[in-house]
A and B are shown apart, each in its own frame.
Chain A
Amino acid sequence: DTGVSQDPRHKITKRGQNVTFRCDPISEHNRLYWYRQTLGQGPEFLTYFQNEAQLEKSRLLSDRFSAERPKGSFSTLEIQRTEQGDSAMYLCASSSEAGEAFFGQGTRLTVV
C-alpha cells in the first residue's frame, strides 16, 4: 500500500465554479478525515467518517461543502460556488481503530 492518495494535487478554478477532490485512504483504515490548511496555520478539522458514516462536521464546513464516503473506502469533498476564501490546502488522513492518522500530500486549491 502506498499510503493516503489525493487527487488532484493542484486545482485552479474560477470563483463560482464547483470543484471535487478525491481521497483514497490506506486500504484497511476505517476512519477518514478531511482538514484544511492555510499558509502559516495548522490543519483545521472539517469532517470525519467512520466507514461510510459521517460522524462529525466542523462549523467551518458551510453549506457549500459536502463530503461523502459512499462505500467506506474512498471519499470525495465537493465545494460548490467557490470563493476566494476557499483557497487552501485540503488534506485527507486515515487511521485504523487504534492507530494514528496518516496524511496524504494534499490538494492545493487556488480560486481566482
Chain B
Amino acid sequence: GDSVTQMEGPVTLSEEAFLTINCTYTATGYPSLFWYVQYPGEGLQLLLKATKADDKGSNKGFEATYRKETTSFHLEKGSVQVSDSAVYFCALSVGPSGTYKYIFGTGTRLKVLA
C-alpha cells in the first residue's frame, strides 16, 4: 500500500544551520506530496506542496523537490531559526486514481538552539 517514510528525530541544530529532513514514499499512483508543520500546542499547517515530478515547493525559506526517480521529497532550509522548532510531517495524497486521503509519515521533531 501507499506509505511515507521520514527520518527519525529529534533533529537538533544551532541557529543558522542548514536543515535537511529526508522523506521517501511508496505509491501505486501519481501522488501529490506535502510537508506539514505542527508547532507546539497548535494544529497541522501546510508548509509546502508539489503535485508532479520535478516540481519544487517552497515557503518561508523551506524547499522540497518532487523526485520521482528516487521517490523522495526531502525538506531543506538554508538557515534555520529558533522559531522553526516544531514537528514536521511528510505526506502524500493519491488522486484522482486514488481516494484523495492523506498518508503521513511519523514526523520529525526539529529543535533549533539559539
Contact = CB atoms under 8 A, between A and B. Distances in A.
A33 B45 CA distance: 15
B44 A43 contact: yes
A85 interface: no
Interface in B28-78: 32, 34, 36, 42-46, 49
Nearest to A56: B99
Contacts of B91: 42
Contact of A101 (B4, B102, B105, B107): B102
Contacts, number: 52
Nearest to A58: B101
B106 A93 contact: no
A65 interface: no
Q: How large is the interface on B (under 10, 10 to 19, 20 to 34, 35 or more residues)?
A: 20 to 34
Contacts of A95: 100
Given A43-B44, A105-B42, A33 B102 contact: yes
Nearest to A95: B100
A112 to B, nearest CB: 22
A48 B89 contact: no
A91 interface: yes
Contacts of A50: 100
A41 B93 CA distance: 18
A105 B39 CA distance: 11
Interface of A: 31, 33, 35, 40-45, 48, 50, 55-56, 91, 93, 95, 100-106
Interface of B: 4, 32, 34, 36, 42-46, 49, 89, 91, 93, 99-107
